[in-house]
Amino acid sequence: MNFDALTIVYILEIIVGGLLVGVGVHFVPVGGAPAAMAQATGVGTGTVQLAAGSGLTGLLAAGLMMSVTDNIWPILASGAVGAMIMIDATMMVGGWIYAYAVGAPFASAKVNYDPITGYSQPPYVAPGTVGQGIPTVSFVSGTIGGFMGGLGGALIYYPLMMINHNPSLSALFAIGIFLVNAVLASWNIQGTIEGFHDPKFKRWTKAFRSCLVATLILALVAVTITGGA
C-alpha cells in the first residue's frame, strides 16, 4: 500500500477516535455490583460493558449512515446520537426501578450539592451506602460519555472504511480498537465512577496518555493490515 499524506490523516483520525473513547468512558456513571443493590451511585454494570454497549450501538448507526453517504459529518453525528440514545434509555429505565421498585431517591455521595440542579445530596444517601440511583449530574455526564464514545467509534470506523471499503472488516477492527481503549480507561477508573463531578475523574490524563500510545500502535496495524489486503 502507499503510505501517503491521506493515510497519515486516517491514522490521526483513528487516534483521535480512540482518545475520545478513552476519555468518554470516564464520563459514564458506573457503579458495578454495588449499584445493582442500590449501594452505590450509578448504573449497575461494569465500565467496559456499558461503554461498549453504547459505543457499539453508535457504530451500528454510523455504519448504516456510511452505507448511504461518504460525508463524514452525518456519519459522526449519527454514531454519537445512536450511542446517546442507548445510554440514556438504559439510565432512564434503570432510574424507574430505583425510584419505583427499590423506592430510593437518587443521591451522590461524592458531592454535597448536585452541580447542575443544586439539590443537596447527603440527607438522601441511605445509611451504610455511598448513594444510589442516577442523579441529574450523573445522567448528563453519562449522555456526554455516550456522545464521546459514539463519536470515537464512528471516527475509528470512517477512515478504515475509506481505506478498504469493506464494512465487516472495518467494523471488527473498530470494535477491537474501541474495546482496547474502553478497557484501558476502566483500569484507570478501578471499578466505579459517578461522572465528571467524581474526584476520580481527575485521573483522566493518565488514561489519555495510555490510550494515545495504544491507539497509535493499533492505528498503524489496522491501517496496514486492512489496507494491504
Partner 1 sequence: MDALSMGLVAAMGALATVAGASEDIESDVGSQSNPNSQVQLAAQVGNPHRIYNKAISGEPPANALWATTAAVVAYTLITKFAMPALFAIAVGASVAALFNGVFSTSAYFGRNASQRRFNQWIYLDIVRYTTPSIMAHAWITAFCITCIAYIQTQILMPHHPFPMPVIAMIWGIAVGAIGSSVGDIHYGGEREFQWRIFGQGLNTMLSGQIVRKAEAGLRNSIDNAWFCAKLGGPFTGLAFGLVVFLDSWRTTVFDPVTQSGLAIGMGLFFVILMNLYNYYVETSVRRKYGPYPGYKGDIPA
For residue 126 the three cell numbers come to 441511605
Does 68 engage in binding with partner 1 (CB under 8 A)?
yes
Nearer to partner 1, 116 or 216 (CB): 116
The stretch near partner 1 (CB under 8 A) out of 12-20, 71-79, 184-192, 211-219 is 71-79
Type of residue found at 141: S
Interaction mask 174-213, partner 1, x per CB under 8 A: -x--------------------------------------
User: Of residues 112-171, which lie at the interface with partner 1 (CB under 8 A)?
Assistant: 112-113, 117, 119-129, 131-136, 139-140, 143, 167-168, 171
For residue 92 the three cell numbers come to 432512564
Type of residue found at 61: A
How far apart are CB 2 and partner 1 at their closest, in Å? 25
Among 23, 90, 173, 184, binds partner 1 (CB under 8 A): 90
Q: What are phi and psi of 67, to 5 degrees?
A: -75, -15
CA 144/CA 109 separation, integer angstroms: 21
Q: How far is CA 212 from CA 7, 128, 132, 163, 203, in A?
A: 18, 39, 34, 22, 15
Q: What is the crossing angle of helices 47-66 and 72-96, to 10°?
A: 140
Among 86, 148, 160, 184, binds partner 1 (CB under 8 A): 86
For residue 38, how many C-alpha atoms fall within 13 Å in the half-sphere facing its CB?
19
State the number of binding residues for partner 1 (CB under 8 A).
84
For residue 10 the three cell numbers come to 486516517
User: Of residues 27-66, which lie at the interface with partner 1 (CB under 8 A)?
Assistant: 32-40, 43-46, 49-50, 52-54, 56-57, 59-61, 63-66
Q: Are 208 and 201 in contact (CB under 8 A)?
A: no
Nearer to partner 1, 14 or 84 (CB): 84
The stretch near partner 1 (CB under 8 A) out of 6-14, 15-23, 110-118, 190-198 is 110-118
Nearer to partner 1, 67 or 205 (CB): 67
Residues 6+ apart with CB under 8 A from 84: 54, 58, 143, 146, 147, 150
Nearer to partner 1, 14 or 174 (CB): 174
